[in-house]
Structure 1
């Protein structure tokens, strides 16, 4: 059985290979850590923006509700002050809808 001597070159190669493997593992761990931090930051940003847009939507809905209430108040005030004119307008709108829908042919 032949006896194989390990040369200094083979030892140097193995040491360099082990060092390279350690560096690659360290690099992969670093990348994994950075990607996890980046993902966490991205999720936080998305959640923050979603909350901001939800707040804006709620404010717009509140504004529309307030405008609707103000409009109803104005209409009811107008009807209260001018009941005959309001009744004639309502009758005219109803008659026009009746004609448009084809029921008055």
Structure 2
């Protein structure tokens, strides 16, 4: 009789162990799926933000280029309207730089 009781206990223990092992495997599969989904979502989010920032950087570069062009056009127009004054200013600035750098001693 002792032998059959031990056998029933062993069978019950093995059945519970198998059930527990299956539950752990299901939990690991579920965790893996959630991790993959989260990583995929995070990757898409990062990619979307990178595209957004690239677009913004491109727009800022375009704006800076346009502002620089406008500034150059304004300077060019001023020089065309006042060529003598512009040459005197350029000469004065060049002379001041020459003196500051110590070349005129």
Fold similarity call, TM over 0.5: yes
Q: Could you say which residue in structure 1 is the equivalent of 2:52?
A: 52
**RMSD (CA atoms):** 1.0
SS of aligned partner of 1:63: helix
Q: Could you say which residue in structure 2 is the equivalent of 1:68?
A: 68
Q: TM-score by structure 1 length?
A: 0.93
Shift of 1:7: 2.2
Q: Find runs of 4+ consecutive structure 1 residues off by over 2 angstroms.
A: 4-7
SS of aligned partner of 1:102: coil
Shift of 1:36: 0.5
Q: Following the alignment from structure 1 to structure 2, what is the Cα–Cα distance between the partners of residues 92 and 85?
A: 10
Gaps of 5+ in 2: none
Q: Could you say which structure has the higher helix fraction?
A: 2
Q: How does 1:1-105 map to 2 (within 5 A)?
A: 5=4, 7-105=7-105
Total equivalences in the alignment: 102
Q: TM-score by structure 2 length?
A: 0.93
